[in-house]
Amino acid sequence: MKTKDFKVKYEAWLSADIMHNNSRKWLSELKFAKDEELFFDDLVKSYTLQLIDSKHFTDSKKIIDKLNILQKETDTLIKTIKNHEKGLKVMVDGINELEKEDAYRDKHAKLIIVVSNFLEKYRTLKTELFSLIKGVIKEGKQKRLLQ
């Protein structure tokens, strides 16, 4: 006797309100991340001499490259979510367009994953940058104490 393998896919029912609130929350988090990125740029500029020291150069170069990539991703995600938010009218226009509504829900589900992955990468980079700068500051203090 043959058995069939079923792929179970859990999909939560997302109302228009929930999707709107998700989009607003994502935009808020991404705009905050954008502001933080400006702070990170200033932080890197403030400690440039210490970061280009041979001891920290490779680590700092990797982190700064990641930061530049993440800044571009932030801009792209903000634009994507704004466009997604504009498409919400398909859900609330009162016309039953099941295919368009399903496509919108699928896109929203994919965005949930994309945004959460982005925020995870962002937090990781933030931690790496702060630990690098913390190490540079500690070394500077130790050098001043020894002089």
Instruction: Report DSSP letters for 80-138, one per residue.
Output: HHHHHHHTTHHHHSS---HHHHHHHHHHHHHHHHHHHHHHHHHHHHHHHHHHHHHHHHH
Assign 4 a pLDDT band (cuts: 50, 70, 90): low
Burial code (b: 16+ CB inside 10 Å, e: under 16) for 53-85 equals eeebeeebeebbebbeebbebbeebbebbeebb
Residue 8 lies in a domain: no
With a CB cutoff of 8 Å and minimum separation 6, the contacts of 105 are 11, 14, 19
Q: Is residue 11 part of a domain?
A: no
pTM of the model: 0.82
pLDDT at residue number 8: 40
Q: Higher model confidence: residue 33 or residue 143?
A: 33
Say how far apart CA 8 and CA 1 lie, in whole Å: 22
Within a domain: 10:
no
Query: Given a cut of 70, is residue 125 above it in pLDDT?
Result: yes
Domain for residue 6, yes or no? no
Closest CA to 71 of 121, 109, 108: 121
Domain that holds residue 20: 16-146
Instruction: Return the pLDDT at 136.
Output: 87
Residues in contact with 10: Cβ distance below 8 Å, sequence separation at least 6, in sequence order: none
Q: Is-contact 45 85, C-beta < 8 A?
A: no
How many domains, in total, are found in the chain? 1
Q: Does residue 119 lie in a domain region?
A: yes
Least confident of 18-27, 28-37, 71-80, 83-92: 83-92
Tokens of 109: 């589900």
Q: Does residue 7 sit within a domain? A: no
Quick one: how far is CA 29 from the chain centroid?
Answer: 8
Is 102 within a domain? yes
